[in-house]
Structure 1
Amino acid sequence: MAFSGAGEAVGRMELGDHLCLPYAHADERRAVLLAYVRGGLAAGHKIVYVAERDSHDVLPDCLRPVPARLEPFADAEPPRPAALDPGRALESGRLVLRTAAEIAGATGGYDPDELMGLIATEIELALVQGYRGLRLTGERPLAWPGVPEPDGAAGATPGGTGAAGGAGGAGADAAALAGQEAAERFAACERRIAEVFRATRPQAMILCQFERCRLDAVRLEELESWHRARVRADDLYDDGRLRAAPLFGPPGLALSGRLDAATRAALDRVLALLPPGAGLVCLEMSGVTACDEEGLRRAVEAGRTSGGRQRQVLLRGVSPRLAGMLRDTGLERAPGVTIEELAR
């Protein structure tokens, strides 16, 4: 599953936080990072973005606007003030791009103490410049052993040079050793950041990005252990009785709370947020605590768009009680509906 609704909403991050975004889908990453950057601009923070690629004046793809037809839940987003536009922030200096090679060179190849000194300098500079705090985020800058780099950059070192040699022999051994050393330096840096941020709560926050498909379960668990929490996209709706968080790949909603008469109007508003152009939508139901037949029917009928087109609906995390209701009412046989029950 690309996103389960677990974790801390990015909009609730505070100065002193060191969180991670282990994303599985480009839209998930984009939603979180745009909210992170826009939130920082609204709060008067300076944003420093560390990219793997060498570019100081080109906005990263994950912060660029896309056509509304490609943006999940585009209609749910209100118009944004120009002051919250990442492109304009880059031009004005409120958003600054650094490169992984640049950071590695300034810290002696990611020495933990040198890196903390660099972060402290960036915080001090932001405050001197009149900002209320600093927001840092970075693409995964260092290779894990055995994990292929994008665009054929396998074996890249923090300084941006590749291991010499072919796929076997001394070249492969050197690449493996470089990867192991990079992983150890990376682990030491993350642990050091976690220690400092827990102890001092500086006027900064850090959001580390990791692509899940490039990490096995053991490494992912290790990465997450160095951060206070995993971050997720902000809720689309929450009134204390019904909460809806976005899902990515396939697009959809993670529903929590009640789907009954008390939340009928809210449920209709929430379901209307489903992207109309998607041929498959997912409703994560594991957080549903109360549901009547009509609430279940409306969830099933989310497969029919306002224009009358039928699309596929995946009901995921369905409890045994809800599965029984679907069978008893015949809703499980509705066109285009697939049900995934919770593991017992």
Structure 2
Amino acid sequence: MEDLRPGDHACLTYSDAEERLDIVAAFVRDGIGAGQKVVCFTDQSGPPDLAGELAERDVKPTDGGQLTIRDNDAAWLSGGQVSAANMIEMLSVELEAAHRDGYAGLRVTADMCWATRPVAAVDELLVFETRVADLFAEGRLIAVCQYDRQRFDHVTLAFAAKAHARAVAAAVYHEDPLLRICRQHAPPGIRLAGEIDYRRVPELNHALAEALRLGGDIHVNLAHLTFMDAAAAAAIGQAALSLQPGRAMAIVCGRAVRKVLDLVGATDQPAVRVRLAHGRP
């Protein structure tokens, strides 16, 4: 995500909704920090829902309209019809408005699931992804198109990957049917989902070591972790011990995981802050 530059047209394919939101939040946060106009087109959640998800990931609302969240129904599917030409024209207008208002550029992210609806022809999606390339020529536009692997067929996903010059994905340190360990982009840190025991402590240590190198506070998201043994909890506690003064570790977890962290003394450290995940056992 940090390597994206104005003029880049990137594709994000995902199967984990939380991972998608982390990446979108990082994309939005970086655009705001760079003084760019940011526009998010959302399909799977309405604008208020997406605004709330961004706020949970430390992306705050901006003054003056720097960040705009639009519903795909109102943007792409106005009147029940969608066309590549209208979509490209809308982005052209946004690009000129951003320039006129003095922004450093325009940053756009769009949930492309509108193309899976009966009222939207998927061939218009293919035309859009092909013709929109001209808008990136001047280096004022940067865009990430989001594709849900569970909603699109393999042929369309393959085309989307080919139509974009760049690809965006979370760093995955381990993935199997029982456990997924990946980088969390916003707030920065790592996320674990599933079950972890002593056998996956090396992968956990690797993920924690990379998070430590990033600087700042570390966020350890264990909200979707259903089991953790003492060895894995101790690894998290050891990482917290290695934090330099002024840095903190924020942990989100369920009550069962919190008990294990308490047992090994990880939560007793001054640098550790723990918050129980809403609705988790």
| TM-score category (smaller protein) | 0.5 to 0.7
- Residue 102 of structure 1 is aligned with which of 67, 74, 77? 74
Q: TM-score, normalised to structure 1's length?
A: 0.51
CA apart distance, 1:215: 2.6
Q: 2:42·2:50 contact (CA, 8 Å) conserved in 1?
A: no
- Are 2:166 and 1:229 equivalent residues in the alignment? yes
Q: What is the SS of the residue equivalent to 1:12?
A: coil
CA apart distance, 1:129: 0.8
In the alignment, structure 2 segments of 5+ residues that lack a partner are 174-181, 185-189, 238-260, 265-281
> How many pairs align?
215
Q: 2:113·2:147 contact (CA, 8 Å) conserved in 1?
A: no
Letter of the 2:168 counterpart: V
Report the counterpart of residue 2 of structure 2 in structure 1.
11
CA apart distance, 1:57: 5.8
Q: 2:192·2:221 contact (CA, 8 Å) conserved in 1?
A: no
- Are 2:88 and 1:116 equivalent residues in the alignment? yes
In the alignment, structure 1 segments of 5+ residues that lack a partner are 1-9, 67-79, 145-154, 159-181, 237-243, 260-264, 282-299, 311-344
Report the counterpart of residue 101 of structure 2 in structure 1.
129
Q: TM-score, normalised to structure 2's length?
A: 0.61
CA apart distance, 1:44: 0.3
Q: Give the Cα separation in 2 of the matches to 1:130 and 1:36.
A: 20
Q: Deviations over 1:41-79 (max 9, x none)?
A: 10001111112279566644542317xxxxxxxxxxxxx
Q: What is the SS of the residue equivalent to 2:115?
A: coil
Q: What is the SS of the residue equivalent to 1:11?
A: coil
Report the counterpart of residue 123 of structure 2 in structure 1.
184
Q: What is the SS of the residue equivalent to 1:215?
A: coil
Q: What is the SS of the residue equivalent to 2:126?
A: helix
Letter of the 2:114 counterpart: L
Cα RMSD, aligned residues only = 4.1
Q: Give the Cα separation in 1 of the matches to 2:80 and 2:6.
A: 27
Q: Deviations over 1:234-289 (max 9, x none)?
A: 799xxxxxxx9456563799x99xx8xxxxx957957x8654663457xxxxxxxx
Q: What is the SS of the residue equivalent to 2:107?
A: strand
- Are 2:2 and 1:64 equivalent residues in the alignment? no
Higher relative contact order (CA 8 A, sep 6+): 1
Q: Give the Cα separation in 1 of the matches to 2:39 and 2:211.
A: 39
Question: Structure 1 residues 309 and 121, CA, compared in 2 at 3 Å: closer, same or farther?
Answer: same
- Are 2:145 and 1:208 equivalent residues in the alignment? yes
Q: Percent identity?
A: 23
- Residue 196 of structure 1 is aligned with which of 134, 155, 168? 134
Question: Structure 1 residues 213 and 57, CA, compared in 2 at 3 Å: closer, same or farther?
Answer: closer
Q: What is the SS of the residue equivalent to 2:73?
A: helix
Letter of the 2:119 counterpart: T
Q: 1:107·1:118 contact (CA, 8 Å) conserved in 2?
A: no
The structure whose Rg is larger is 1
CA apart distance, 1:115: 2.4
